[in-house]
Amino acid sequence: MRRRRVNRVATISMHTSPLDQPGTGDAGGMNVYIVECAKRLARLGVEVEIFTRATARDLPPVAELAPGVLVRHLTAGPYEEMDRAELPGQLCAFLSEVLRTEAMYDPGRYDVIHSHYWLSGQVGWLAKERWGVPLVHTMHTMAKVKNLLLARGDKPEPAARVIGEQQVVDVADRLVANTADEAGELIDLYGADPARVAVVNPGVNLNVFTPASQGVARHRLGLPQDAHVLLFVGRIQPLKAPDVLLRAASRMLIDEPALRERLVIACVGGPSGNGLARPSFLTELATELGIADVVRLVPPAPQEELADWYRAATVTVVPSYSESFGLVALESQACGTPVAAAAVGGLRTAVRDGVSGLLVDGHDPADWAIALRRLLSAPRRRERLSAGAREHAAAFGWQATAARLMEVYAGAIAHLHQVPVALPGN
């Protein structure tokens, strides 16, 4: 029997482009995931074409992200950023452009579709039926999970999204979960067939996020050498809970006023999602709490600069209400900086409690203040956690993620066509 090979993957990322700067708009860990996996798959000899919505008139129809990786900008709706709530209205237009692209080539151009987020899954569902190829889908976040863990004042995800996610779960040939916890949520909350769920841990760029001198990093960023730097990285929205860090810092300063001379709260990121309704929320909160003098708000940074922020930090704080994995936690640990993270979702995998960082139950600022003060007052403990952080992060590389994805693709193709699939090196 002739063996098939995975030659080309159609990656669908409708609502956010892999070329966008993470930490702005809807760009975040998913963007990093798509870019890094695409690059590593290309190194394995697999061509990747990423379909995304054009958000500017002057964007080229096709852009090369890296050798073997193309980004296709498709016209669907106005040439501007759109709220995700408005994007379902553009699904038909986007799907039409995806199908039109494939029709320009000989049949069989794509061997597998990998869609990211439920909107892309809806497109992948119909494309798979037209092309006769398997659909692999990664949720990244799930409405039912988010609705169980809502931040204070946050709005629940709409029923339309819940229904849309359920449809994608039902039709996908394979569902990729970032962690075993997420796999369990797919099975328990959405009734996914366990045989179609594969756990593939995301990775971290171990060439960029590396340990280096804290002092040099602080000098480059203009931070005091003797500061206690508590770092938040991510989109500014209720789900990510940067307010928990600010409220905890306020309590720390009330309990220990002398700490004000050395404390720096650095928040690197931009407003996103529900956070766009109050883009100045953190500034207003810092003023209200009386800690504006110790808070630094920094716009989203490219990876090389972001690595310096991690190196400069004393502790990276990840107080999210929900995380499918927690890429920020992994990047920080790869730089040798321990993490204090909420004990939710994928963070329980990304952070090894008591070894590479600290997991905190709940989101009570008083509890976070106690946990952070204990870390700041225990330099030897931080040194041990720093060593554990480096070792823990070293086990997560994007190359391993890509290799595991290749196995998932091969399994989906083999099941659909009932033929063996050749992997690189075989």
- Confidence at residue 403, expressed as pLDDT on a 0 to 100 scale: 95
The identity of residue 175, as a single letter, is L
> Was 313 annotated as part of a binding site?
yes
- Confidence at residue 22, expressed as pLDDT on a 0 to 100 scale: 59
> Was 31 annotated as part of a binding site?
yes
> Was 109 annotated as part of a binding site?
no
> Was 235 annotated as part of a binding site?
yes
Q: How many C-beta atoms lie closer than 10 Å to residue 129's C-beta?
A: 11
Cα separation, 369 vs 282, whole angstroms: 18
- Confidence at residue 89, expressed as pLDDT on a 0 to 100 scale: 85
- Residue 191's region, left for phi above 0, alpha for psi from -120 to 50, else beta, is left
**Of the ranges 25-34, 131-140, 147-156, which one carries the lowest mean pLDDT score?**
25-34
Q: How many C-beta atoms lie closer than 10 Å to residue 286's C-beta?
A: 22
> Was 64 annotated as part of a binding site?
no
CB burial readout 63-92, b (16+ within 10 A) else e = eebeebbbbbbbbbeeeeebebeebeebbe
- Confidence at residue 415, expressed as pLDDT on a 0 to 100 scale: 86
Cβ-based burial of 60 (10 A; exposed 0-12, middle 13-18, buried ≥19):
exposed
- Confidence at residue 150, expressed as pLDDT on a 0 to 100 scale: 80
Q: Are 312 and 221 in contact (CB under 8 A)?
A: yes
Top mean-pLDDT range of 21-30, 230-239, 248-257: 248-257
- The SS3 call for residue 343 is coil
Question: 295: pLDDT confidence band, cut at 50, 70 and 90?
Answer: very high
- Confidence at residue 306, expressed as pLDDT on a 0 to 100 scale: 96
> Was 167 annotated as part of a binding site?
no
Share of the chain above pLDDT 90, in %: 77
Question: 2: pLDDT confidence band, cut at 50, 70 and 90?
Answer: very low
Digit-coded pLDDT (tens) for 49-107: 999 999 888 889 999 999 999 999 999 888 777 777 788 888 999 999 999 999 999 98
4 has a pLDDT exceeding 70: no
Region 226-238: mean pLDDT is 94
Question: 398: pLDDT confidence band, cut at 50, 70 and 90?
Answer: very high
Cα separation, 349 vs 48, whole angstroms: 28
> Was 84 annotated as part of a binding site?
yes
27 has a pLDDT exceeding 70: no
> Was 417 annotated as part of a binding site?
no
189 has a pLDDT exceeding 50: yes
The CA distances from residue 358 to 26, 211, 333, 343, 354, in Å, are: 28, 19, 12, 9, 6
Cα separation, 5 vs 319, whole angstroms: 42
Cα 32 to its chain centre, rounded Å, is 7
276 has a pLDDT exceeding 60: no
1 has a pLDDT exceeding 50: no
> Was 193 annotated as part of a binding site?
no
> Was 161 annotated as part of a binding site?
yes
Cα separation, 342 vs 362, whole angstroms: 7
Digit-coded pLDDT (tens) for 242-254: 999 999 999 999 9
> Was 15 annotated as part of a binding site?
yes
> Was 29 annotated as part of a binding site?
yes
> Was 240 annotated as part of a binding site?
yes
Share of the chain above pLDDT 70, in %: 93
Question: Biggest alpha carbon distance in the chain?
Answer: 74
**Of the ranges 2-16, 43-57, 354-368, which one carries the lowest mean pLDDT score?**
2-16
Digit-coded pLDDT (tens) for 315-363: 999 999 988 888 999 999 999 999 999 999 889 999 999 999 999 999 9
> Was 311 annotated as part of a binding site?
yes
Digit-coded pLDDT (tens) for 411-422: 999 988 776 666
Region 104-131: mean pLDDT is 95
Give the DSSP H/E element, type plus range, for residue 388. helix 379-394
> Was 157 annotated as part of a binding site?
no
> Was 81 annotated as part of a binding site?
no
Digit-coded pLDDT (tens) for 199-231: 999 999 999 999 999 999 999 999 999 999 999
149 has a pLDDT exceeding 60: yes
- Residue 108's region, left for phi above 0, alpha for psi from -120 to 50, else beta, is left
**Of the ranges 130-144, 147-161, 241-255, 348-362, which one carries the lowest mean pLDDT score?**
147-161
- Confidence at residue 57, expressed as pLDDT on a 0 to 100 scale: 87
| Helix orientation angle between 159-171 and 118-131, rounded to the nearest 10 degrees | 40
118 has a pLDDT exceeding 90: yes
> Was 195 annotated as part of a binding site?
no
- Confidence at residue 270, expressed as pLDDT on a 0 to 100 scale: 83
- Confidence at residue 421, expressed as pLDDT on a 0 to 100 scale: 66
| Tokens (6 digits) for 159 | 């029923």
- Confidence at residue 237, expressed as pLDDT on a 0 to 100 scale: 86
- Confidence at residue 324, expressed as pLDDT on a 0 to 100 scale: 83
- Confidence at residue 28, expressed as pLDDT on a 0 to 100 scale: 67
Q: What is the pTM of this model?
A: 0.87
